[in-house]
Structure 1
Amino acid sequence: MSSRTSSPFSPVSGVNTPKEADSGYSSGTACEVAVPEVYFSKPHLQFLNRQLQFLEPQEILKWCITTLPHLYQATAFGLTGLVTLDMLSKMKIPRPQMVDIIFFDTLHHFPETLSLLDKIQDRYPLVNVHIFKPAGVNTAQEFAVKHGDKLWEENDQLYDWIAKVEPAQRAYRELGVNAILTGRRRTQGGQRGDLDVIEVDEVGLIKVNPLANWTFKQVHDYVKNNHIPYNELLDRGYKSVGDWHSTQPIKEDEDERAGRWKGQQKTECGIHNPRSKYARFLMEQEKKKEQEAVQQALHKVALQA
């Protein structure tokens, strides 16, 4: 298992363009701005999506490899991610162009997910896996000591930031990621129903969803027919697997991701939501801390008076 590594490539976290409204994305903060290696205007992005939606996933992946520099696959080894990985492995790709994997270890994955990671590395030994964990901790016990026993219940947005969003931003920065292959599909339900094949987020990261058009049956059949190791939880009623504390099995007539955050008005962990939402959230948290510090100081002054 390879540990996280640095890259000589410069990170692309935004764009520096005065025509922000005409682009496929908006710029980041001034300190993060870098010249993008790939730029899509909105008309170009719309054109690409019209063309790509009629292609098979393998054709989309070939287009990605030949078009997008510093391309990675972000996956927790769900069925779609496994299909993408296997399709890539069957292509004749020179080693420098092979697509490395980024795995976000939240420290709260099911044991079955971590076991699958080992099986995948045995099955695809040429693929590098970069593992990123929450900052400053390496185990669930350390996470609990630092952030509390049930942060996901007490403050789910903060949990998402610490366990997933911040590690993702750190990974993209350290590895110099320009583009990411995701496992999102339209039939998964929730916010993914109108998913495009290619997207560009608000800080310039290109996200490609090569199997956006496929159904659960198609990805399941591909995994079965190609004898790919998969998460054992799928045989126990799980169709989408995340952290153990926020994932449940589902009924046959429910959306694939119905078991994620069941009973909550939530369908995404934050990695695929606008990052500015989390920047605002962190700012609010800092303001709250400052206000509490001021109140404590005033309280001490009052006691001393």
Structure 2
Amino acid sequence: MQHETNFLTIKEQVAGLNQQAMNFDPVGILDFALRGAAPGRIALVSSFGTESIVLLHMISQIDRSLPILFIDTQMLFKETLAYQADVARLMGLTDVRHIRPDPLDISEIDPNGVLNQFNKDACCELRKTRPLQRALRGFDTWITGRKRFQSRVRAKLDFFENDGDQRIKVNPLAHWQPEDLRDYIAEHHLPKHPLLKQGFSSIGCAPCTSPVKDGEDARAGRWRDSGKTECGIHFANGEVLRQPLSKGHSS
């Protein structure tokens, strides 16, 4: 959908928002966005991973009824599913929506659940990108937990982004470092993801996530040795190239 706020394009809105918010801290960014600066209906997309608790706690202090979109790929660690339920209950989040792949798509494209072994991009498209695209219909702005330090791909993140000329994306934690996250979690006595103590600094689907070694990027354990660094939900306009989904990959 094309937004017109004071007849500005999304690109122009994003530039203005970043200019206004350049000196805000993460809570200030969230408050700024949720109090009306960001257009239309807003949702937070959360993986309930190792760092998600920070943004979820901040949201809980501002608006516990904000829609939280949790993508359950049906290949997540059991620890992540348990952690998600515990955190939502602890934070009093009242609108957590479990976003899952279309059963018909699964039966046609990955009936045996092994697509990730042959085509990781297609698996992410099937289990994450398509479901999220459906879930974001009707939302004009979405909030993410991405940070610059996580990878070279994310090194120039702004607080506000143009998401394919369709909606605005907000990254309140873009400028935070690992020590900022650790300090916040300690200060507020927040529960940690149970896999963190096993060396998982970034957690996705179980088949494609491994512990991170000393000196590696925070996301180095995702799709290790495949050359893949992003699932694709944060790219638009063809920036991530994938092989088209087709039937029979799992046979």
What TM-score do the two structures reach when normalised by structure 1?
0.72
Aligned with 2:44 (options 59, 73, 92) = 73
Aligned with 2:140 (options 178, 193, 198) = 178
Asked whether the equivalents of residues 190 and 257 of structure 1 are also in contact (C-alpha less than 8 Å), the reply is no
Q: Quickly say closer, same or farther: Cα 1:51–1:165, change in 2 above 3 A.
A: same
Asked whether the equivalents of residues 43 and 142 of structure 2 are also in contact (C-alpha less than 8 Å), the reply is yes
Q: Quickly say closer, same or farther: Cα 1:123–1:74, change in 2 above 3 A.
A: same
Superposition deviation, residue 114 in structure 1: 0.4
* Matches of 2:220 and 2:98, distance apart in 1: 27
* Matches of 1:203 and 1:43, distance apart in 2: 10
Aligned with 2:69 (options 95, 99, 102) = 102
1:237-271 CA distance string (max 9 Å, x none)? 11111111111111221111111111121110010
**What SS does the aligned partner of 1:73 have?**
strand
Ranked by relative contact order (alpha carbons within 8 Å, sequence separation 6 or more), the top structure is: 2
Asked whether the equivalents of residues 80 and 211 of structure 1 are also in contact (C-alpha less than 8 Å), the reply is no
One-letter amino acid of the counterpart of residue 172, structure 1: L
* Matches of 2:43 and 2:53, distance apart in 1: 14
Q: Quickly say closer, same or farther: Cα 1:108–1:128, change in 2 above 3 A.
A: same
Q: Quickly say closer, same or farther: Cα 1:135–1:37, change in 2 above 3 A.
A: farther
Alignment pair present for 1:198 and 2:174 = no
Consecutive unaligned residues in structure 1, runs of 5 or more: 1-13, 16-35, 290-305
* Matches of 1:84 and 1:193, distance apart in 2: 19
Percent identity, aligned pairs only? Answer: 33
Which deviates the most, 66-75 or 119-128?
119-128
**What SS does the aligned partner of 2:226 have?**
coil
Alignment pair present for 1:129 and 2:87 = no
Superposition deviation, residue 277 in structure 1: 5.9
* Matches of 1:239 and 1:166, distance apart in 2: 25
One-letter amino acid of the counterpart of residue 206, structure 2: W
**What SS does the aligned partner of 1:260 have?**
coil
* Matches of 2:91 and 2:147, distance apart in 1: 24
* Matches of 1:275 and 1:134, distance apart in 2: 22
Superposition deviation, residue 279 in structure 1: 9.3
One-letter amino acid of the counterpart of residue 205, structure 2: D
Alignment pair present for 1:164 and 2:164 = no
**What SS does the aligned partner of 1:90 have?**
helix
One-letter amino acid of the counterpart of residue 269, structure 1: C
Match of 1:50 in 2: 19
* Matches of 2:152 and 2:107, distance apart in 1: 29
Structure label with greater radius of gyration: 1
Alignment pair present for 1:60 and 2:29 = yes
Alignment pair present for 1:232 and 2:199 = no
Match of 1:248 in 2: 210
Asked whether the equivalents of residues 53 and 213 of structure 1 are also in contact (C-alpha less than 8 Å), the reply is no
**What SS does the aligned partner of 2:58 have?**
helix
* Matches of 2:56 and 2:110, distance apart in 1: 35
RMSD of aligned alpha carbons:
2.7
Superposition deviation, residue 79 in structure 1: 4.2
* Matches of 1:144 and 1:54, distance apart in 2: 49
Asked whether the equivalents of residues 246 and 260 of structure 1 are also in contact (C-alpha less than 8 Å), the reply is yes
Aligned with 1:258 (options 201, 220, 224) = 220
Higher helix share: 1
Superposition deviation, residue 161 in structure 1: 1.1
* Matches of 2:206 and 2:14, distance apart in 1: 37
Superposition deviation, residue 76 in structure 1: 0.7
* Matches of 1:124 and 1:143, distance apart in 2: 35
* Matches of 1:48 and 1:187, distance apart in 2: 22
Consecutive unaligned residues in structure 2, runs of 5 or more: none
Q: Quickly say closer, same or farther: Cα 1:42–1:179, change in 2 above 3 A.
A: closer
